[in-house]
Amino acid sequence: MIALQVYVRNFATQHRGERIVAQLESLGFTVKECYDGTLDSLGGLIETHITSVDELKTDDPDDIRALVSSDPEVFLQFRVFSVIHEGEVRLTSKLRIVSDDQ
């Protein structure tokens, strides 16, 4: 079984972070961490829990990017895991997607 985790980085406001969280949750992800970026010069950070692709509405990185990354400076990192046993996963790949403007 395959599982996916998403990191979203470099959004500037709490409001934008809340919108991204809502968009990720609408796809089936649950958010593990969310820092709004107001105290960090690198911007906000959102990390989702590792989620089985069976629980997601889509596992296509392009679909997720289109929904989440409307700001040119926001980037996403996708981590793909293989589920070995219940509760045990192995990272199989990372994919970093920056908006088309960069």
Q: What is the pLDDT of residues 5-45, one digit of tens each?
A: 999 888 877 888 888 899 999 999 999 988 876 666 667 88
Q: Percent of the chain beyond pLDDT 70?
A: 84
7 bridge partner residues: 47, 77
pLDDT for the residue numbered 101: 44
Q: Please count the other Cβ atoms lying within 10 Å of the Cβ belonging to residue 77.
A: 16
Query: pLDDT band at residue 90, thresholds of 50, 70 and 90?
Result: confident
Domain ranges of the chain: 2-80
The two beta strands, 31-35 and 2-9, are unpaired
Per DSSP, 75 falls in state E
User: Of 88, 73, 98, which Cα lies nearest the Cα of 10?
Assistant: 73
The class of domain 2-80 in CATH terms is alpha beta
pTM of the entire structure? 0.81
